[in-house]
Amino acid sequence: MIVDDHEVVRRGIAEVVERTDGMTVVAEAGSVADGVRRATLVRPQVMLVDLQLPDGTGIDLMRSVRETLPTARAIVLTSFDDDDALAAALDAGASAYLLKSVRGAEITDVIRAVAAGRTLLDDRTVARRRAGHEDPTESLTPSELRVLDLIGEGMSNREIAERLGVAEKTVKNHITSLLAKMGLQRRTQVAAWVASRKNSGWRAEPGH
């Protein structure tokens, strides 16, 4: 069963699957509610699930289906290369995590492996990924994190000082410190980093 709110994506995956020996698409759905209803009716062996759906997330869908169909196995297929999403997928019982940039042949290989009982996503994968994607803000103090957020909102040093009720020199000291800790040179790089984080969250914008 394929669950994705973009019909073009669903049809493309369905064509790849239907051309593969021994595989059949038993249902398609474009939302969490539709996915849960159809899964109950057709009882799929494997579900390909997008993370962002109009009425919730693929994580919600997997958890709901697992209650009624504990044997159904799930593969997350998403455009978000996101460690939090990866961990949430693992927690919800997903057996694999694929990016939409994957080739068609790889999708069917993973479906076949998951249908055969293999799990391609485990705690070690998540831990390994996290180790390679360390958060550059991890060592920032609470005050530095607050300054980071306000820079991201486009505030000047003076505006940040007024908001936090501190001297402008204190704000400059915080910025000097957080730049050093994050390995950045300029204030504009901090603003760009905050903006990129806001736009990359898999829960941020429905329908992707």
Is residue 8 within 8 A of residue 30, CB to CB? The reply is: no
- Domain limits for position 177: 142-200
Same domain, 80 and 161: no
Same domain, 62 and 148: no
Whether residue 45 lies inside any domain: the answer is yes
Same domain, 95 and 151: no
Same domain, 48 and 106: yes
Half-sphere exposure of 3 (CA within 13 A, CB side): 31
Same domain, 110 and 11: yes
Whether residue 195 lies inside any domain: the answer is yes
Closest CA to 86 of 136, 132, 125, 137: 125
Asked whether residue 17 carries a pLDDT value surpassing 90, the answer given is: yes
Whether residue 205 lies inside any domain: the answer is no
Whether residue 192 lies inside any domain: the answer is yes
Same domain, 146 and 183: yes
Domain count of the fold of the chain: 2
Among left, alpha and beta (phi > 0; psi -120 to 50; other), residue 183 is: left
Same domain, 120 and 169: no
Same domain, 119 and 153: no
> How many CB atoms are located within 10 Å of the residue 86 CB?
22
Model confidence over 78-130: pLDDT tens digits?
888 777 788 888 888 999 998 888 888 889 999 999 999 998 876 666 666 66
Same domain, 24 and 104: yes
Tokens of 111: 């479906």
Beta bridge partners of 75: 48, 96
Same domain, 125 and 153: no
Same domain, 124 and 164: no
Model confidence over 148-204: pLDDT tens digits?
999 989 999 999 999 999 999 999 999 999 998 888 888 888 888 887 676 555 565
Q: Dihedral angle at the C-alpha atoms of 118, 119, 124, 125, nearest 10 degrees?
A: 110
Q: Dihedral angle at the C-alpha atoms of 206, 88, 183, 194, nearest 10 degrees?
A: 20
Same domain, 110 and 34: yes
Asked whether residue 135 carries a pLDDT value surpassing 90, the answer given is: no
